Amino acid sequence: MSTRAYITYQDYGGEKSTVSFHTQDITALNFSAITSNIDELRVALNEITSGTINAVGFTRTFDDLGITELAPTDKFSQRETKWLVTMVDQKRFLDLANTIANPFFGKKFSIEIPTANLEVLNDGEEEIKLASNGALVSAIETNLKSPSNAEAPAGIGDTVYVKVLSIRHVGRNI
């Protein structure tokens, strides 16, 4: 069974919003590696959000100095202001022997990240430039899986599970 990890953000008004995503199933053997991957993604996403990180986890909350119950000081940090990350499933096969084709290979899916920090955008633009944000794109592509390939084992062949197509500012429930 796949593992869903999450990051909860708090906005200026104290409201919370969560982004969750599929990650490799966590076992005793890969616990350190997977929690390190989630932490890498948390740090990367923190660069494009203005809210404070309130919780990070997957069935439990990590004890981490980067997590707080305090509201952010930026009054524009609102959970309704989000980054819509659109990706495509890149995993052709769902097994190590490459015999089980992924029926959702090439299909798009997305996640929303709350408390978008719009300061990272150029004036008049609504999308983050992927080429100039390689570390962010790499952290997403390295650590996320699509809903359809979440249980596929890591191995030889397709090592990138998703490809980021765009990161666009959107407003929700405003």
pLDDT of residue 149: 78
Residues in the chain: 174
Helical packing angle, 134-143 and 31-46, nearest 10° = 150
**DSSP conformational letter for 146:** -
Total domains in the chain come to: 1
157-166 exposure pattern, b = at least 16 Cβ within 10 A, e = fewer: ebeebbebee
Query: Domain containing 88: what range?
Result: 3-171
pLDDT in tens, the chain (174 residues): 467 899 999 999 999 999 998 887 777 888 898 889 999 999 999 999 999 999 998 864 455 667 777 888 999 899 899 999 999 999 888 888 889 898 999 999 999 999 999 999 988 899 999 988 999 999 999 888 888 877 777 665 667 789 999 999 999 776
This prediction has a pTM of 0.73
Going by C-alpha positions, the residue among 117, 119, 109 that lies closest to residue 166 is 109
CA 6 to chain centre: 8
pLDDT of residue 60: 47
Specify the 3-state DSSP secondary structure of 34.
Answer: helix
pLDDT of residue 1: 47
For residues 168 and 129, the answer to whether their CB atoms sit within 8 Å is: no
For residues 43 and 35, the answer to whether their CB atoms sit within 8 Å is: no
Going by C-alpha positions, the residue among 59, 61, 48, 67 that lies closest to residue 25 is 59
pLDDT of residue 157: 60
**DSSP conformational letter for 64:** -
pLDDT of residue 65: 66
